[in-house]
Amino acid sequence: MKRIKKSFKFIALSVVFLLLLTGCDVPVLQPQGPVGEQQYHLILWSLALMFIVIAAVFILFGVIVFKYRANRKRTDNYDPDQEGSRKLEFLWTIIPIIIVILLAVPMTTTTMRLDKNPSPEKKPYLVYVTSAQWKWIFNYPEEGVESINVLHIPSNRPIRFVMTSEGAMNSFWIPRLGGQKYAMNNMSTTLYLEASHPGKYLGKGANFDGKGFAHETFNVIAQHQGDFDQWVQKVKADSPALTMSDYNKLLKPGLVDVKSYSSYPKELNTRMETMMSMDRGGSMNDDMSGMDMSGMKGDASHE
């Protein structure tokens, strides 16, 4: 009787816990772009398979406990010392293999697909991302401007993030738009994301990199192309130019406020392009050929 009460108590607490979870804000379950939506479907598919496994285990557990309980008067030929069963061994070997295949195939194909432009019919917008303790630096080479701890992007257009780190390795993550990817020192990694609608989304560093890790967040502001262009013009008109001296100060560990710069030294673009070329064996990615770099204004060095 006590065991039954404990079992019901455990089930009740589990239900309460699940009900409490429904009130939580889970950004990855509220996708706002094609990349996030595909990853959301993968999460649901994984949860469904896990639920099937859990349900089967609990059902079999109940059946076995009831069928082979000690006080049952047996009328069959049950042998407690029986060893080996080819049917059962085949069953509990093939089922995990099937589950792994059902998980691996869609995850592998989706991951490979998301490593490219999610909307091939649209030209991606390029943003260079640099992680520095404990801040995010965003470089817009097509516009020649730069922002710190805030990211502006055009909505309904794929964004190609080329990322690196000036110091500790970090992980760039905008949960509502898609999964995270690492930014590493002296290397470049590429991530494609897209915001289907204008809005403000939370971005963060998802890899612990020191005492300021908790503050390493930024707002992502997705705007209509016209509004994005207005923001660029406002930055060019009202913000100061970034010098190499100021940039080197930004790279030092510490917290800084949201900032924007009307231009930046050409060395920053050159460094990113060099790393991209090295990481691809000396050849630039095909997407670079489709980039409009004529509007680049960051080619004047400010010492």
Instruction: Render pLDDT for 2-44 as a digit per residue (tens, 0 to 9).
Output: 554 555 455 444 544 554 555 556 788 889 999 999 999 998 8
- The pLDDT-based confidence of 277 (bands split at 50, 70, 90) is confident
**pTM, whole model, 2 decimals?**
0.78
Confidence of residue 261 (pLDDT cuts 50, 70, 90): very high
Which tens digits make up the pLDDT trace of 44-66?
898 888 888 899 999 999 988 88
In sequence order, the 6+-apart residues with CB closer than 8 A to the CB of 264 are 139, 144, 145, 146, 241, 242, 247, 298, 302
What Å distances lie between residue 121 and 114, 156, 158, 185, 197, CA to CA?
A: 15, 12, 10, 32, 17
